[in-house]
Chains A and B, each alone.
Chain A
């Protein structure tokens, strides 16, 4: 067991290094001059052009004159020692403060989505399994397909449109911290969480349903029924606990795919999380921010997968030996 965990954790380090090399490589080695891209963008926005000296100064400031391996080493070290690659070239805010301010917001949105999904998906999955191939099962599957094929930003736009024109209410524009004004906070966060949860709960419902179907066919369920337990008790005490383990672990692995949706919806609803920051930086060609935030997002995604894998190996001993 400890050996398995140790191996997984050790493997995590080269994985992170490789990820950082890829991110660095994409932004630096691909054709295109970072300094020119930044100045070009500024010139387009502000009108006018830029001079040779400006290019040289910016190159110096960004450390672009160093050889690539040194640039990489400097950046990689700064990700470890807490500087996270310096500061934004737009707002000059240090990246450590950007991350400290925005990371909790993205995490909160993810937690809300997952909680909502579990609350909805587990009962629906059980229900769907109990009524396998009858109409409630079909209705639920249709809803899932619909949620999967409508892009989440379009669902969000339709929702906003509906609220504005039919109810005459729209979510507040300014974000507030949950500890400062929880009511105001939820008024903004609930909508993206609901939209993300639609798709996510569709996935969770499917796992719950198939897990339930498997467990309901087990001998011990038949025994429980044979000794006269009601369906409620059979489901609650004998079936559900056995289903929840794979649901939670598989769900955990899938959480990482939520990130893509979070990035888009944070922008749409004006939620100041990492997703909004990285898009703003990408649009403004703020390379240090794009680079470090991409690394942070990938770090969380890979880290989450690691934690879920280890958790799963506790629950299911077969994983350890394969």
Chain B
């Protein structure tokens, strides 16, 4: 109860802090970000557009990505009715690319969301509690980091079977060790702070300690890692699909489309490999730009002199 009162009441100290550091609204923060990191802001806008495209895929797509198969219109070059041409089954490539954004984003956010949450819980606990738990966790993390990303994902997909959910799960497992390592190291540095000691002194519970005092201070770097890794996860999903180990065929995954296109249709229908590839590269590129910009803004070690 005493803690609640202390946290809720406005002390003189809090007021001092507020005066020293002007509070900005979300809009002001966004404006600042846009001014300092134009590339990052542009990529953020592009990604919002992408999310909208994925959300409104049925409205934007001109055809059904799976069912609209017209035998007479196989391997047609781009034209007014099929702006990105048609594939080997007479399906509209444009519509499939649009629906492909859905798959990429779904897998990407599933893998990153799950991987980040699980990784942070393990990393923070391992760093905060230390001892034997920490030792065991660190060994496992070291070993998992020794697995090539795609091999680990491949093993899991083989074991679980390929579906959108399982591919997302498999890639999240590949993300976890990276998040664990990062959130553990920030936990270790936060752990030594005086305010943690103060919290221990007044008898804060483990749950409250982790949620209120430790976790918020590890969020920044993990968020940067997650944004940067999203691009990597999307490529990995495409890579698995390209190898025939991803989300199974009728689904319009960009990697799967490249796989079909590469199998004998490259000369006859180059648009089958060009357009999904452009979509894939553009998405990865924008996530990389956004990740870089966020790192500059959120990583205190890189923030020199500006407040």
- Using a CB–CB cutoff of 8 Å, the interface residues on chain A facing chain B are 14-15, 18-19, 22-23, 26-27, 30-32, 37, 145, 148-151, 153-154, 157-158, 160-161, 164-165, 256-257, 259-260, 263-264, 267-268, 278-279, 282-283, 285, 287, 290, 294, 297-298, 301-302, 305
Contact = CB atoms under 8 A, between A and B. Distances in A.
Given A15-B146, A283-B245, A301-B146, A290 B258 contact: no
Contacts of B277: 150-151, 154, 157-158
Contacts of A290: 154-155, 158
A159 to B, nearest CB: 11
B159 A160 contact: no
Contacts, number: 132
Interface string B222-261: 0000000001000100110011110000000000001001
A151 B266 contact: no
A161 B261 CA distance: 11
Given A157-B277, A294-B155, A283 B244 contact: yes
B93 interface: no
Given A22-B144, A161-B266, A290-B155, A264 B243 contact: yes
A279 B143 contact: no
B284 A263 contact: no
A145 B143 contact: no
B258 A157 contact: yes
Given A154-B280, A282-B157, 4 more contacts: A151-B235, A151-B238, A164-B267, A283-B244
A299 to B, nearest CB: 9
A297 B235 CA distance: 21
A192 B156 CA distance: 26
A19 B146 contact: yes
The 8 closest A-B pairs by CB, nearest first: A149-B285, A154-B277, A30-B159, A259-B148, A260-B150, A302-B146, A260-B148, A150-B281
19 contacts: A15-B146, A18-B139, A18-B143, A22-B144, A22-B147, A30-B156, A30-B160, A151-B238, A151-B281, A153-B238, A158-B273, A260-B148, A260-B239, A263-B148, A279-B243, A283-B243, A294-B154, A297-B151, A302-B143
A161 B270 contact: yes
Nearest to A263: B150
A161 B277 CA distance: 13
A283 B161 CA distance: 11
A285 B245 CA distance: 10
A157 B140 contact: no
B151 A294 contact: yes
B64 interface: no
B41 interface: no
Contact of B258 (A154, A263, A283): A154
Contacts of B125: none
Contacts of A150: 277, 281, 284-285
B262 A15 contact: no
- Interface of A, secondary structure class, is helix
A244 B235 CA distance: 32
A160 B277 CA distance: 14
A57 to B, nearest CB: 22
B109 interface: no
Judged by DSSP, the binding face of B is helix
Given A15-B139, A15-B142, A151 B239 contact: yes
Contacts of B280: 151, 154
A148 B266 CA distance: 24
B149 interface: yes
Contacts of A267: 243
A148 B143 contact: no
A157 B266 contact: yes
B288 interface: yes
A154 B239 CA distance: 10
A304 to B, nearest CB: 10
B158 A27 contact: yes
A203 to B, nearest CB: 14
B267 A165 contact: yes
B292 to A, nearest CB: 9
B191 to A, nearest CB: 20
Nearest to B287: A149
Contacts of A14: 139
A260 B149 contact: yes
Given A157-B277, A267-B243, A15 B267 contact: no
B146 A151 contact: no
Nearest to A151: B235
Given A14-B139, A15-B139, A15-B146, A268 B262 contact: yes
A100 B158 CA distance: 24
A15 B147 CA distance: 12
Contact of A32 (B159, B258, B261): B159
Interface in B183-203: none
A26 B143 CA distance: 14
A257 B146 CA distance: 9
B273 A149 contact: no
Contacts of A153: 238-239, 242, 258
A149 B288 contact: yes
Nearest to A25: B159
A119 B140 CA distance: 36
